[in-house]
Amino acid sequence: MLFHVQMDVQIPHSLDPEVAAQLIAKEKAYSQELQRSGKWRHIWRIVGEYANYSIFDVEDNAELHQLLSNLPLYPFMKISVTPLCRHPSSVREDDS
Ligand SMILES: O=C(O)CC1=CCC(=O)O1
């Protein structure tokens, strides 16, 4: 199942900068591991915002929830999820 996910990050200014840097490094490693596994298909920076648009390819809602709630920056994110399915006009073979 494919999902479009928007992640808006808001790290509080009161958080120790070293702790923030560690969380960001962990987030990167976690994200890249999932990208290599094929579960996190795309990640795009939203220009001008500390936010991204991502595409996930997972078994079901529960797996997506588990992956998202394990994000190291999860406590500092607002996440919006939109389920996707193949568009009948798509010419891409890897859309479904
Ligand atoms: O910077 C972001 O958009 C948050 C994030 C998600 C995965 C990652 O590496 O950073």
The owner of tokens 């490693």 is 29
- Amino acid 20: pLDDT: 98
Can you give the pLDDT at residue 94? 78
Whether the complex's predicted ipTM is more than 0.90 is answered with yes
Three-state SS for 59? coil
Confidence of residue 73 (pLDDT cuts 50, 70, 90): very high
Q: What does the alpha-carbon distance between residue 46 and residue 78 come to, in Å, rounded to a whole number?
A: 14
Which residues, other chains included, contact 87 with Cβ-Cβ below 8 Å and sequence gap of 6+? 95
Contact 4, 82 (CB under 8 A): yes
> pLDDT confidence of 95, banded at 50, 70, 90?
confident
- Rounded CA gap, 91 and 3, in Å? 19
Q: Residue 91 C-alpha to ligand 1 middle, in angstroms?
A: 29
84 CA to middle of ligand 1, Å?
21
pLDDT in tens, 8-52: 999 999 999 999 999 999 999 999 999 999 999 999 999 999 999
Closest atom of ligand 1 relative to the 32 alpha carbon? 9
Q: Which domains does the chain have, with CATH numbers?
A: 2-84 (3.30.70.1060)
